[in-house]
Amino acid sequence: MGTEMTFNTIPTLINRNVMLYPDRVAIKEVEGNREYSFTDVKDRANRMGNALYGLGLKKGDRVAILSQNSVEYTEASFYVPNAGFIFVVCNFRLAAPEMLAVLTDSEPTALIVQDQFVGMAQQLKDSVPSAKHFIYFGAPDKKPEGWLDFEEMIQKASPAELAVDIFEDEIAMLMYTSGTTGLPKGVMQTHANFVHAGRVCSRLNFLDLDSHVFIICPLYHITAHYTLFGAFYVSAPSYVFTKWDVDLFLSSTEKFKLTGGMLATPMVMMILDSPNHKKYDVSSWKHIWFAGAGIIPAVYKKFIDTYGNILGEHHGTTETTGVTTNLGPRDIQDAFDRGDNNILESCGRASFDMEALIVDENGKPVPKGGVGELIVRGPGVTLGYWRKEPETKKAFRGEWFHTEDVCSIDSFGYIRIIDRLKDMIITGGENVYPAEIEKVLHSNPAIKESCVIGTPHPTWGEAVTAVCVLNEGATITPAEVTEFCKGKIAGYKVPRVVHIVPSLPRNAAGKILKRELREQFGGGAK
Exposure string (b/e) for 320-334, b if CB count within 10 Å is 16 or more? bbbbbbbbbbebbee
439 compared with 58, residue with greater pLDDT: 58
Q: What is the mean pLDDT of residues 88-108?
A: 88
**Secondary structure class of 339 (helix, strand, coil):** coil
| pLDDT tens-digit series, residues 109-118 | 999 999 999 9
Contacts within 8 Å (CB) and 24+ apart, 292-298? 292/223, 292/264, 292/265, 292/266, 293/265, 294/265, 294/344, 294/345, 294/347, 294/417, 295/265, 295/268, 295/269, 296/344, 297/335, 297/341, 297/344, 297/345
- pTM, whole model, 2 decimals? 0.83
- Domains for the chain: give ranges and CATH numbers: 10-243 (3.40.50.12780), 354-421 (2.30.38.10), 424-521 (3.30.300.30)
Q: How many CB atoms lie within 10 A of CB 147?
A: 16
10-19, 95-104, 368-377 — which is least confidently predicted? Answer: 95-104
Q: What is the percent of the chain with per-residue pLDDT over 90, rounded to a whole number?
A: 69
| pLDDT tens-digit series, residues 103-162 | 999 999 999 999 999 999 999 999 999 999 999 999 999 999 999 999 999 999 999 999
Task: Report pLDDT for 6.
Answer: 53
